[in-house]
Structure 1
Amino acid sequence: MLPERTDVLIVGAGPTGLTAALTLARHGVQATLVDERKRPQVTSRAAVVHAYTLEMLDRIDAAAPLVARGLPSRRITVRDRDRVLVTVPFDGLPSRHRYALTVSQSVTEQVLTEQLAEAGGEVLRPYRLTGLDLDDAGALARFDGATVRARWVIAADGMHSTVRTAAGIPFTGRADTESFVLADVLMDSTMSREGASIFLARGGPLVWVPLPGDQVRLVATVTDPPAEPDAAYLQRILDERGPAARPDRVREVLWSSRFRQHQRVAETFRAGPILLAGDSGHVHSPAGGQGMNLGIRDAIDLGETLAEVLAGGHDRLLDEYAARRRPLAEEVAGFAGRLTRLAVVPPPARPARDVLLRLVSGLPPVRRRIALRLSGLHQRA
């Protein structure tokens, strides 16, 4: 049951909301975390947790149980069918996590939920936010049949955030520029499972990511994809873009979906008692697997800052949070956009692109900079 009052109301129990609640709990603050779904999603889009995100999760004792459920990816390889253009290794990262952890978002949410429960927290379901009134005391959140008076409200309710909209925060940028299919499959493959591969092909890029349990995540840009791509559809993409000498064969589709790319960043991450984190504040291309990672890092930063405010710190600290996070969101959105444009260059420019990538592969400092950007460690203070 919803409480009548709470210091912190978190709307949305995806990775961002769960991480914010867990961070607050680790600092002695029991937030009210609500979600409109009756039960957690069992399918997910995000499949990679990068090194800097794992370092930050170490701060709330959530990295180790997640690593135990994931598969370390030691490198990313860029290919043109069977020809390797670039290999970016992670073994030289300045971190105890010298890898990218591949793990389904649903598993990430399970781990965070379990850690939150151990810390005395829970997710209250299903509660749909229907309205939000702001005043000098905070906010009055309206749900179906109930209200909650909150001092602070964290918007962790995604790209179409009801909280952000109610606060009147503009969400500017571009929309619907690319279509993607994504799927988790079982397949027969001779590809190495020690790292992810990006295939650059005439029809567009294909991302091949090994997951625990012999699963593989496929992501591809396409035109007018079906709502639920089946095995035959995914096999055609693999045949056109994937390994040629020893082709992959899809045995079973465990889950599939489609989505359109958006690139938007909120104009501010704070409006009075409203605080944005994750997709409510930024969305962009999935290239590089940056979205969920940035959202988790937002949530830890915000949770630590809000705990300090609730312990007696000045609320200007929350303005500093907003001032920190928005430029990082702009930077990540720009980086993901550049990766996407590199992958989808027109056919006449592709030979020059491939030559450039092969030159990059011979420059260790460049490979290191790319690894640092992908891992997020370049943002580490």
Structure 2
Amino acid sequence: MTPKILIVGAGPTGMTAALELARRGIAADIIEKRDAPSPLSRAVGILPSSMAIFAASGVDKVIREAALEVAEVEIFFERKKIVSLHMDADPDPHVRLLSLPQDRTETILRDALANRNVSVRYGKSLERLEQNETHVRVRIDGESAEYDYVLAADGARSTARTQLGLTFEGFDLPETWSIADIEVDDWPRVGFFSVYLRKNGEAVFVIPMEAHRYRLVANAPDALATMPGTVDVSRLNRSGQFTIGIRQVERYSRGRVFLAGDAAHTHSPVGGRGMNLGISDAAEWAQRLADGTLDGYHASRHAAGRKIIDFSESSRKGVLTANRLKRTTTLAALRIFNAIPALNRQMVRRMLLS
């Protein structure tokens, strides 16, 4: 008998789970509290691990055609270039970093679901859930329903996690981060991912999204102002500030309810792992549901989440430091990696495959 499944949240994590179930012949209900798809770019980096997951349903081809392939990752100290990593250094053409605004990724996933007769129910909020040994009872906008299993991919402020009483263990970074989604007509390095490190420990990451569109993320209140020099912005699509939480849920499951994506883990954007980790959560959950091995989901994904959080924090602390000695050591190591081709390739593989 085909299980009845509810997926809460229609971001990349939730839709990947629905797509992975659909290709196995399991049609899930998927709800999203937003009234319509988000128009925001949000996460943009797509790693080889996610593309391998998307290949199973064929959406990898559509994503690859729509995405921008990042040519190089440049690291500057103030205005002096320290490192230039060639992102096509690996002979395997699949080991590449792709950049695509999250709203476009979500559109591709949503279209793929529609082709399998699965649609997202927008404007539907999970209000309550309770469970016993055989099913989960939920209330969605005042209406009750029963499911065999629930996957909560409803973000960092997860209603499902709160309903389960699970602790979201960790801390918030003290500084205010900022973001700017800009268009620049004459940016000199199209397709280049640039990192500008400042003497005071501030940094801004310039992430290409399209030929003339860039995402700026900074560990400072004003991403544009953190750039060394001036940027001739032709259009500002979005700007804002946010706080970063370094957190992981104590358990990825309780009974018949499971957590994935930001509902289970959050970390800094250094390393670009957030969306990709959620996609991996979703794919493994769908596989385990089909195989009857859901009991192993928590241990596997908690370990994977902890590994990425540790990797992200190590990278953040190594790169974003105002300590002169630590900064000098980090920059010296980066220069060595940049000077030796074999180490350069090794660093690229670590960035893309870790």
Equivalent in the alignment of 1:337: 313
Query: What does 1:249-288 align with in structure 2 at a 5 Å threshold?
Result: 249-288=232-271
Match of 2:226 among 229, 237, 241: 237
Equivalent pair of 1:75/1:99 in contact (CA under 8 Å): no
| Equivalent pairs, count | 351
- Render the CA deviation track for 1:86-106: whole Å, top value 9, x for unaligned: 222222336442321111011
Q: State the Cα distance separating 1:188 from its structure 2 match.
A: 4.2
Q: State the Cα distance separating 1:259 from its structure 2 match.
A: 1.1
Q: State the Cα distance separating 1:6 from its structure 2 match.
A: 6.7
Equivalent in the alignment of 2:329: 352
Take 2:93 and 2:224, find their aligned partners in 1: how far apart are those partners?
A: 37
CA-atom RMSD, angstroms? 1.9
1:289 to 2:272 alignment: yes
Equivalent pair of 2:191/2:211 in contact (CA under 8 Å): no
Name the SS of the counterpart of 1:160 in structure 2: coil
Match of 1:202 among 185, 199, 205: 199
Q: State the Cα distance separating 1:358 from its structure 2 match.
A: 1.0
Take 1:373 and 1:355, find their aligned partners in 2: how far apart are those partners?
A: 18
Q: Quick one: structure 1 residues 52 and 147, their matched pair in 2 at CA, closer, same or farther if it must change by over 3 Å?
A: same
One-letter amino acid of the structure 1 residue matched with residue 82 of structure 2: L
Take 2:133 and 2:37, find their aligned partners in 1: how far apart are those partners?
A: 34
Take 2:286 and 2:93, find their aligned partners in 1: how far apart are those partners?
A: 23
Take 1:17 and 1:370, find their aligned partners in 2: how far apart are those partners?
A: 31
1:151 to 2:148 alignment: yes
- When the two structures are superposed, what TM-score results if normalisation uses the length of structure 1? 0.87
Match of 1:212 among 194, 205, 210: 210
One-letter amino acid of the structure 2 residue matched with residue 237 of structure 1: T
Equivalent in the alignment of 1:229: none
Q: Quick one: structure 1 residues 234 and 177, their matched pair in 2 at CA, closer, same or farther if it must change by over 3 Å?
A: closer
Name the SS of the counterpart of 2:314 in structure 1: helix
Range with greater deviation from structure 2 (333-342 or 148-157): 333-342
1:114 to 2:111 alignment: yes
Take 2:269 and 2:339, find their aligned partners in 1: how far apart are those partners?
A: 26
One-letter amino acid of the structure 1 residue matched with residue 19 of structure 2: L
Name the SS of the counterpart of 2:308 in structure 1: helix
Q: State the Cα distance separating 1:30 from its structure 2 match.
A: 0.2
Q: State the Cα distance separating 1:213 from its structure 2 match.
A: 4.5
Name the SS of the counterpart of 2:289 in structure 1: helix
Name the SS of the counterpart of 1:68 in structure 2: helix
Equivalent in the alignment of 1:230: none
- Render the CA deviation track for 1:323-373: whole Å, top value 9, x for unaligned: 211111111111111121122212423333322221222244443343223
- When the two structures are superposed, what TM-score results if normalisation uses the length of structure 2? 0.93
Report percent identity of matched pairs.
30
Q: State the Cα distance separating 1:26 from its structure 2 match.
A: 0.7
Take 1:353 and 1:70, find their aligned partners in 2: how far apart are those partners?
A: 31
- Render the CA deviation track for 1:308-329: whole Å, top value 9, x for unaligned: 33xxxxxxx1122222111111
Take 2:57 and 2:93, find their aligned partners in 1: how far apart are those partners?
A: 16
Equivalent pair of 1:50/1:374 in contact (CA under 8 Å): no
Match of 2:88 among 88, 91, 94: 91
